[in-house]
Amino acid sequence: MIKVYGTNTVYEAILNNRVSQIYLLKGYNDKKTLDLIEKYHIRTSFLDRKSLDNLTNNSNHHGIVAVAKEINPVDLNSLIKKLDSVQFPTILILDGLKDPHNLGAIIRSADLFNASGIIYKKRDSVSINETVEKVSTGAINYVPLCEVNNLTKAIEELKKHDYWVIGFEGEAKDTIETIPLDRKLVIVIGSEGEGISRLVKEHCDFLLKIPMAGHGHINSLNASNAAAIVLYEIFKKR
């Protein structure tokens, strides 16, 4: 079980039958959420603010905390099979991402721009936790997540199913405008500090960059911002 908090996050968890217990701030009055809690007959307790703060390590909980079943990642073969009927699926691979805020934001963008799933390593990368749940604002319930032991083997398997693998890094020469997007796509986003690892980079079919103005003081994007821009460009052109 995992604690989830924040109105939207808890609301979506309830809709997906994950919640077994709700803790509400005394005086909580979001009618839409209260009606849903009543509809699903969820056990509810009212607490003071200090108690809710303690439950969430002083995070911004909006006066509502839930105990919920954890999200179960799917295996790679199941994800590939599920997407067989999708004309042009887009899968994200996150290579060594460490920041749970970035993962939560990427999951949110993936849902908004119709990505088909997110793959990441079981080890040496961020896992699903309370922060990821909160930052995703409920999108985590709708985007398939896939944990793998080895990203390069996962890429090799995806290529067998006709996916093009595109890595994004700042030093690449070409941009996304240079390739057709009416394909099965895998988008690789590197870690916050190191970028895409050497072996994963060698398995990419293309290395592209996000064009920037070129006169700013900062020459790189946060991983979640980069993912959002790329997913939007793909969404816009399909």
Task: Identify the sign of the CA torsion 233, 211, 152, 126.
Answer: negative
Q: Work out the mean pLDDT of the chain and round it to a whole number.
A: 92
Mean pLDDT across 1-19: 96
- Structure tokens given for 138: 């409920």
Which pLDDT belongs to residue 39?
Answer: 96
Cα–Cα dist 85/41, whole Å: 36
Helix axes of 100-112 and 223-236: crossing angle, nearest 10 degrees: 10
Mean pLDDT across 143-159: 97
pLDDT band for position 216 (cuts 50, 70, 90): low
pLDDT digits 0-9 by tens, 60-89 = 899 999 999 999 999 999 999 999 999 999
Domain 76-236 is classified in which CATH homologous superfamily?
SPOUT methyltransferase, trefoil knot domain (3.40.1280.10)
Which pLDDT belongs to residue 19?
Answer: 97
pLDDT band for position 159 (cuts 50, 70, 90): very high
**Considering only CA atoms, which of 146, 98, 149, 91 is closest in space to residue 122?**
149
Which pLDDT belongs to residue 111?
Answer: 97
Pick the CATH number of 2-68 from 3.30.1330.30, 3.40.50.2020, 3.30.565.10, 3.30.750.24: 3.30.1330.30
Question: Do residues 142 and 108 lie in contact, with contact meaning Cβ atoms separated by under 8 Å?
Answer: no
pLDDT digits 0-9 by tens, 84-118 = 999 999 999 999 999 999 999 999 999 999 999 99
Which pLDDT belongs to residue 133?
Answer: 95
Q: Where are the domains of the chain?
A: 2-68, 76-236
Cα–Cα dist 104/101, whole Å: 5
Task: Examine domains 2-68 and 76-236 and report if their fold is the same.
Answer: no
pLDDT band for position 219 (cuts 50, 70, 90): low
Contacts of 54-61 with CB under 8 Å at 24 or more apart are 55/3, 55/5, 55/23, 56/3, 56/5, 56/130, 59/5, 59/130, 59/131, 59/134, 60/6, 60/134, 61/5, 61/6
pLDDT digits 0-9 by tens, 181-212 = 889 999 999 987 788 999 999 999 999 988 77
Which pLDDT belongs to residue 120?
Answer: 95
Helix axes of 7-15 and 31-39: crossing angle, nearest 10 degrees: 30
Question: Do residues 165 and 205 lie in contact, with contact meaning Cβ atoms separated by under 8 Å?
Answer: yes
Task: Count other Cβ atoms within 10 Å, centred on residue 217.
Answer: 4
